[in-house]
Amino acid sequence: MASAELSIDVVLAAAPHDVRQVTLRLPAGSTVADALRASGLLDALSAAQADSLQTGIWSRAAALDALLRDGDRVELTRALQVDPREARRLRVRRSRAAKT
């Protein structure tokens, strides 16, 4: 038998080293959009900041109308500024330059 309530974590990574997390109890059948509204995390952001964030469930892209399951982690993340492979190449170059 399905539970009438879902336990959902909503996490916002708005800036480097600035991660906020809220745990919510929502009714069964709730969506990602419902969790975002209930969390209140978007209230402190400007409209431009909120529009630039990407939504996901457990690190997988998710639409705002995606249904949630008990224990889901809804994530709001910023887009990558640098490709991780390119960032590693730059670190290696700097490290090699510092050694010489």
8-54 confidence digits (pLDDT tens):
999 998 777 888 999 999 999 999 999 999 999 888 777 777 777 88
Average pLDDT, rounded, for the chain: 88
pTM, whole model, 2 decimals?
Answer: 0.73
Amino acid, single-letter form, for residue 68: L
Amino acid, single-letter form, for residue 96: R
Residue entry with tokens 């209140």: 40
In order of their start, the domains of the chain are 5-99 (3.10.20.30)
Calpha distance 11→97 (Å, rounded): 38
Distances (CA, A) of 15 to 19, 24, 51, 80, 96: 7, 22, 14, 11, 29
Give the pLDDT score at 3.
Answer: 61
Q: Which helix (H) or strand (E) holds 91?
A: helix 84-99
Q: Judge contact between 72 and 62, C-beta under 8 A.
A: no
Of all residues in the chain, what percent carry a pLDDT higher than 90?
54
